[in-house]
Amino acid sequence: MKICMVGEGAFGKKHLAGLKNIEDVEVVSLVGGVADATESIANEFAVPHWTTDLEEGLAQDGVEAAILATPTPIHASQAIEVMQAGKHVEVEIPMAESLADAERVVAVQQETGLVAMVGHTRRFNPSHQWIYRKIRSGELTLQHLDVQTFFFRRSNLNAEGKPRSWTDHLLWHHACHTVDLFQYQTGEVASEVQAMQGPMHPELGIAMDMSLAMKVPSGAMCSLTLSFNNDGPFGTFFRYICDNGTYIARYDDLVDGYEKPIDLSQVDVSMNGIELQDREFIASIREGREPRASVGKVLPAMQTLHRLELELTQEQ
* CA pair distance 118, 291, nearest whole angstrom: 9
* pLDDT tens per residue across span 239-250: 999 999 999 999
* pLDDT tens per residue across span 8-51: 999 999 999 999 999 999 999 999 999 999 999 999 999 999 99
| Predicted model pTM | 0.94
Domains of the chain from N-terminus onward: 2-120+274-293 (3.40.50.720), 122-257+301-315 (3.30.360.10)
* CA pair distance 263, 127, nearest whole angstrom: 9
| CB proximity list for 268: less than 8 A, separation 6 or greater | 124, 126, 129, 276
Burial of 24 (C-beta count, 10 Å sphere; 0-12/13-18/19+): exposed
Cis-peptide, bond into residue 94, ω within 30° of zero: yes
* pLDDT tens per residue across span 196-248: 999 988 888 889 999 999 999 999 999 999 999 999 888 899 999 999 999 99
Contact 69, 12 (CB under 8 A): yes
Average pLDDT score over residue span 92-120: 98
> Partners of 212 in the beta sheet?
195, 224
Q: Where are the alpha helices (DSSP H) in 62-216?
A: 75-84, 99-112, 126-137, 176-186
The 10 Å Cβ neighbour count of residue 53 is 10
The 10 Å Cβ neighbour count of residue 266 is 7
Give the 3-state secondary structure of residue 53. coil
* CA pair distance 178, 211, nearest whole angstrom: 12
Average pLDDT score over residue span 258-286: 97
Using the 8-state DSSP alphabet, how is residue 182 labeled? Answer: H
* pLDDT tens per residue across span 121-173: 999 999 999 999 999 999 999 999 999 999 877 766 666 667 666 667 899 99
* CA pair distance 34, 123, nearest whole angstrom: 31
Q: Which long-range contacts (CB under 8 A, 24 or more apart) does 19-27 make?
A: 19/67, 19/275, 19/278, 20/45, 21/270, 21/272, 21/275, 22/275, 22/278, 22/279, 22/282, 25/1, 25/282, 26/1, 26/2, 27/2, 27/3
The residue type at 272: N
Looking at the predicted structure, is the pLDDT value of residue 180 above 90? yes
**Residue 248: phi, psi to the nearest 5?**
-120, 120
* CA pair distance 153, 87, nearest whole angstrom: 35
Contact 51, 31 (CB under 8 A): yes
Looking at the predicted structure, is the pLDDT value of residue 313 above 90? no
The 10 Å Cβ neighbour count of residue 70 is 24
Residue 148 pLDDT: 97
